[in-house]
Amino acid sequence: MNKKYTILTLVVLLLSVSSLKSQSLSNLIFESKITDATSSISITFDYAGISAGDKFEWQLIKALGDGSPDWGSGRNVWYSGNITPSSTGSGTQTIVNSTYNTPVAGEVFTWAGKITLASDGSDTGYNNTGNLVTIDNTATGTTWIGSKDSDWTAGENWTANAPVATSDVVIPSSTYTNNFPNATTPITVASITLNSGASFKSSSTVTGSVTYKVAVNDTNWHLMSSPVESEGYDTTWVDNNLIDNTTDSGTNVGIATYSNTSDADGDWIYTTDGSTGTFNTGQGYSIKRDATGSDISFTGTVKVNDAALTITANDIDGANENRWSLIGNPFPSYISVVDLLALTANDTALEDSREALYVWNGTTYTPVTTGYIHPGQGFFVNSNVASTTIAINQDMLSHQTGVTFHKSASSNTSINLLMTDGTQTKSTEINYIADKTTGLDPKFDLGTFTGASTSFSIFSHLVSNSKGVDFMRQSLPLDYENQIIPIGVNAIAGKEITFSVEALNLPTGIKAFLEDKVNNTFTRLDEANSNLKVTLNEDLNGIGRFYLHTKSSVLSTNNIKLENISIYKTNASNLRITGLQQGKVNIKLFSILGKQVMNTSFKSKDVSDVSLSKLASGVYIVQLETEAGKINKKIILE
């Protein structure tokens, strides 16, 4: 296919206006077309290498045919000198000034800027690379600078007064402004273009096309969602946005939706070459490009009311259970993750062990419980019931600048247990927090993403009251000496796998050990450059072999007897027991009234399953007896 680029002419972003000196002016933003009646002009620019006392000078002067200044013309329509930088070092600054020497329609002018140095009075000299402004009496453009506040109607916030019905509006990214516009009354414009990272909120109608440009600078798959409503896709949209049209071996295009109705892993449903459709409001898509060089543009209308996004779960408690739905941000502004998860209706809609938004970070699915969802971002959620909705309300929206989406700082004590096979690295995280429990703490204990298959992974199970859920993040109380964490591994036979830890804020004297029950060893991993290498003689699939301990004393196998044992249901008819030492095991089940309903013995292994198929629904007590002693566990059969 012939790839096409969308070129916007209203705002010119120039990559460099620099000198041979270390000081520089760059990334200009200004109106490329003004009328002969324009009374005020602004320029926004980045600067670097500035020392105290340095000064800026800018002027808009008539241009020669090659775009350089015509210094002999005497035709400069705007001048501002002796400008004090807003800070030393580097930064961004906006200058607004009145025009003079009234321009004539058809004239072309160029921006010229320089820096005068306080150290010796020298300057960088003017440097121009075609920063051109045309006097065009049909010009209708206006650009947001947010120099006053976030009020859409305030003329001071715009380069050429507040927009009118014929305006082509540009809202630049946060590189150029710390404020973004809010509209509380109806708006009518010709168009609005938001550059990637920009933000716009409206609680009233917006008439005019709205384009949001999402920066995607690689050819990898990304989870995305249209930040406007009613955008369609067809061959032209695919071509203009450089969408991959060679995905797989057939006629698939790099646009796919996720289906949870087939099996536990789900399926990707690809758009085919030449097909047409509409990006549904709030639905997530996986999108891939086959070239870079421009943003992905979504054009439509702004959503100005609350969103209720449908999520589903398939075959709950069955062999093909899949609770995952791919949704996304339908607004051209930022969603607070904390506010979204705190809403009672959303808390109820999400399954307790996965109360988070799961994003793709390029290598794995990561749960997010803080931060913000960018415009254009797609994410997975895990439904608690067969069908429900996730609410994204207007009061969850905000403007953000410089947000790091996937990470947030933490001062908690934590252990990140890593596992690598030499080509890929996986990890599971343990956090120690004062008010958390050894059972399930929703939003703090977060299960693994199960909507895609994997043959190599590491996870933990709850220390107590485990229901067999694999957790990628678990939070525990500050009882380091008395908690043993079951660690699960999925890996194929023949691999050498290496374990290591990244420990943060462990109390003085507390050590981290990984127990290997097969090799009957404890390996300390919190010391510098320490690791445990294991070559697998058989496939691993779950917990039972490895356990993480935190202790102040050195551990040996004599320390561990019954503490490692976990008992939980894998489904309504199977009881799973993990962490058993080799030897004879007896298991008895009693009804809640004390009547014995099962008595069986077996030779233990790392993971042992006991059939419960003949038992009626109800509450039972499991009594497990090994050579090391007895433990009891309550289970509920439904």
Q: Give residues with Cβ within 8 angstroms of 449, minimum separation 6.
A: 324, 358, 364, 365, 367, 380, 472
pLDDT tens digits, residue range 16-39?
Answer: 333 335 788 887 777 777 777 777
Task: Give the pLDDT of residue 132.
Answer: 85
Q: Tell me the C-alpha distance between 165 and 192, whole Å.
A: 11
The CATH number corresponding to 566-637 among 2.40.50.100, 2.60.40.3080, 1.10.580.10, 3.40.630.10 equals 2.60.40.3080
In the chain, % of residues over pLDDT 90: 53
Mean of the pLDDT values across residues 437-462?
A: 94
Count Cβ atoms below 10 Å from residue 150 Cβ, excluding itself.
Answer: 19
Q: Predicted confidence band at 250 (pLDDT cuts at 50, 70, 90)?
A: low
pLDDT tens digits, residue range 387-410?
Answer: 999 999 999 999 997 654 343 345
Joined together, the tokens standing for residue 161 give 């007064």
Q: Tell me the C-alpha distance between 541 and 490, whole Å.
A: 4
Q: Predicted confidence band at 347 (pLDDT cuts at 50, 70, 90)?
A: very high
pLDDT tens digits, residue range 41-64?
Answer: 778 788 889 999 999 999 999 998
Q: What is the mean pLDDT of the chain?
A: 86
Q: Tell me the C-alpha distance between 36 and 141, whole Å.
A: 14
Q: CA angle, corner 476, sides to 471 and 481, nearest 5?
A: 120
Task: Give the pLDDT of residue 406.
Answer: 40
- CATH topology assigned to domain 17-206: Immunoglobulin-like (2.60.40)
User: pTM to 2 decimals?
Assistant: 0.75
pLDDT tens digits, residue range 357-391?
Answer: 999 988 889 999 999 999 999 999 999 999 999 99
Task: Give the pLDDT of residue 17.
Answer: 35
3-state SS assignment for residue 349: helix
Q: Is the per-residue pLDDT at 303 higher than 80?
A: yes
